[in-house]
Amino acid sequence: MSVFLLNVLLAIAWSALTGDFSPLNLGFGFVLAYGVLWLLTRKSSSRSYFLQIPRVIEFVFFFAWDVFKANVRMAITILSPQMRLRPAVVMVPLDMKNEIGIILLSNLITLTPGTLSLDISSDRKALFIHTLWVEDEEKFRAEIKSGYERRVKEIIEA
């Protein structure tokens, strides 16, 4: 996290020194500072930050694609004369211990159309998800666990 702040500060410093605070120049400064920090922190413990950034970028694309797919499916369901619904409330056990990670995970699940996180068990060991279409609940659980939980875990706990 502190490496990230350093990265942002260096990007602002770059913009100040070049006298141009446009989004494009700030972004260029960020990329430049990222490279410099990568060279400087080769042996330190803050190495994980450089694994995190590509993962975050990968996750953003994965999430956007998933939201797009679910939206198309939602549109087809709502517009079709007889709505094909197979709703269910499914309990998904959580491996993640980190509270921030669990909050992030449940928020992301709610933001995908068709799934809604209803509640987290008081001992933080299971998430209860309401979904619109469930063919096979084991498959649904596996999708949540390998698709979302694994990625969020990698980003948070790296």
Partner 1 sequence: MAREIVVMSLFLVGAFLMFLAGLGLLRMPDLFLRMSATSKAGSLGAGLVLLGAVVFFQDWGITARALATIVFLFLTAPVAAHMIGRAAYFDGVPLWKGTVRDDLRGHYKLSTHRLETQATPPDDKESIDAVVQRIDDH
* Residue number, 10 or 126, with CB nearest to partner 1: 126
Token pair 């875990």 is found at 153
Q: By CB under 8 A, is residue 137 in contact with partner 1? A: yes
> In whole angstroms, what is the distance from residue 75 CA to residue 73 CA?
5
Q: By CB under 8 A, is residue 12 in contact with partner 1? A: no
Among 106, 144, 152, 153, binds partner 1 (CB under 8 A): 106
Q: By CB under 8 A, is residue 79 in contact with partner 1? A: yes
Tell me the site size for partner 1, rule CB under 8 A: 39
Q: By CB under 8 A, is residue 24 in contact with partner 1? A: no
How is 63-96 classified by DSSP, letter by letter?
HHHHHHHHHHHHHHHHHSSS---B-EEEEEE---
> If residue 25 lies in a helix (H) or strand (E), which one and from where to where?
helix 23-40
Residue type, 90: V
Chain residues 28-47 in contact with partner 1, contact rule CB under 8 A? none
Among 1, 2, 5, 23, binds partner 1 (CB under 8 A): 23
Q: Is the dihedral of CA 89, 92, 96, 97 positive or negative?
A: positive
Q: By CB under 8 A, is residue 26 in contact with partner 1? A: no
Cβ-Cβ contacts under 8 Å for 3 (sequence gap 6 or more): 37, 41, 46, 49
Binding site for partner 1 (CB under 8 A): 23, 67, 71, 74-75, 78-79, 83, 85-91, 93, 106-107, 110-123, 125-126, 128, 130, 132, 134, 137
